[in-house]
Amino acid sequence: MKIAILGAGNVGAALARAWTRSNHEVVFGVREPSSAKTLAALKPLGTSARAASLADAVRGADVVVLATPWDATQAALAAAGSLVGKVVVDCTNPLKSDLSGLAVGHTSSGGELVAGWAPGASVFKAFNQTGAENMAAATRFAAAPVMFVCGDDEAKKPVVLQLARDAGFEAVDAGKLQIARLLEPLAMLWIHLAYPMKHGRDFAFALVRPVRG
Ligand SMILES: NC(=O)c1ccc[n+]([C@@H]2O[C@H](COP(=O)([O-])OP(=O)(O)OC[C@H]3O[C@@H](n4cnc5c(N)ncnc54)[C@H](OP(=O)(O)O)[C@@H]3O)[C@@H](O)[C@H]2O)c1
């Protein structure tokens, strides 16, 4: 699958590592394709990844992944151009600038705002609920960490669920895009446990079920 990842930071680089390992083709859509940061993200990926402008990256992609800071997401989408017919996976969290909480919630979500900024695209929320390092190396846990996926396009949802599996997660369909209103606070819980509660970043959420005899 041809995947454009908008942003080559922590999340973009981590997902690129996971997906190139699963033989997907990755192109980072970035403002500066030859910046030191972009080249550092490309270095471990070999020949299955490259970098381009946001619009060039999106043009040939089946799936477009948003891995930008929340405040930059609308501008990045505008620079990317038309997303009509694309699967868009929104990994962002609409964090307040001081990281104290979510700037959007309860009656809307970042995912739903993204859908409004990407008319004609099939928007899904996923890869926002755990730390970037877990996205690069999900298989190092004793149980597969969970990745909830929500979105309204039921026909295209299996594509995103499979990308979560390809990255080593237990992929769980959480419902319609509106469920981003729950998945974004779940990310806040992960951040709260990691930092104020001092668990550190080396943990992930998993879904466990009783043993059936
Ligand atoms: N870090 C995590 O563990 C984690 C986990 C789950 C979800 N998230 C969410 O994922 C998103 C990305 O987080 P991150 O930690 O990967 O951020 P990051 O390391 O700061 O990377 C952000 C990327 O976005 C690019 N960018 C910034 N402004 C842009 C613009 N106007 N147009 C296009 N590209 C732009 C940056 O490029 P430049 O180098 O050009 O600035 C950089 O490549 C955030 O919304 C965050 O809340 C993060």
d(CA 151, CA 14): 22
Which residue minimizes the CA distance to atom 17 of ligand 1? Answer: 9
Span 114-126, average pLDDT: 98
Largest Cα separation within the chain, whole Å, is 56
Find the 133 Cα to ligand 1 centroid distance in Å.
14
Question: How far is residue 22's CA from residue 176's CA, in Å, rounded to a whole number?
Answer: 27
Q: For a pocket test of ligand 1, which of 68, 91, 183 has the largest count of ligand atoms closer than 8 A to its C-beta?
A: 68
**Number of structural domains, the chain?**
1
Residue 209 within any structural domain of the chain = no
Mean pLDDT score of the chain = 97
Q: Is residue 75 part of a domain?
A: yes
Q: How confident is the model at residue 213 (pLDDT cuts 50, 70, 90)?
A: confident
Predicted confidence (pLDDT) per residue in 64-76, tens digit = 999 999 999 999 9
Q: Which atom of ligand 1 is nearest to the CA of 35?
A: 39
CA of 166 to the centre of ligand 1 (A): 22
CA angle 3, 6, 11 (to 5 degrees): 90
**pLDDT digit string, tens, across residues 145-160:** 999 999 999 999 999 9
Q: What is the pLDDT of residue 71?
A: 96
Residue 205 covered by a domain: no
- Residue 128's domain comprises 2-194
- Once rounded to an integer, what is the mean pLDDT over residues 151-175? 98
pLDDT at 99: 87
202 belongs to a structural domain: no
pTM of the model: 0.98
In the chain, % of residues over pLDDT 90: 96
Q: 177 lies in a domain? A: yes
Stronger pLDDT, 97 or 167, i.e. the higher one: 167
| Cα-to-centroid distance, 171 and ligand 1 (Å) | 23
Which atom from ligand 1 is nearest to the alpha carbon of 72?
A: 31
Alpha helices in the chain (DSSP H): 10-21, 36-42, 54-59, 70-80, 110-117, 132-136, 157-166, 180-194
- Check residue 107 and give its pLDDT: 96
Does some domain include residue 10? yes
Q: What share of the chain is helix, strand, coil (3-state, %, to 5)?
A: 40, 20, 40
123 in a structural domain = yes
What's residue 179's pLDDT?
98
16: Cβ–Cβ under 8 A, 6 or more apart, which residues?
Answer: 5, 8, 26, 28, 41, 45, 49
Q: Is the pLDDT of residue 134 over 90?
A: yes
Q: Which atom number of ligand 1 is nearest to the Cα of residue 201? A: 3
Helices and strands per DSSP (H, E), number in the chain: 8, 8
CATH label of the domain that carries residue 176? 3.40.50.720
Which sign, positive or negative, has the C-alpha torsion 86, 42, 163, 184? negative
**Euclidean distance between CA atoms 178 and 183, whole angstroms:** 9
In DSSP terms, 49 is beta-bridged to: 26
- β-pair partners for 66: 6, 90
Instruction: Look at residue 201 and tell me if it is in a domain.
Output: no
Higher pLDDT, 181 or 97: 181
Per-residue model confidence (pLDDT) at position 148: 99
Q: Which residues line ligand 1 (CB under 6 A)?
A: 7-12, 30-32, 37, 67-70, 72, 75-76, 79, 91-93, 95, 128, 131-132
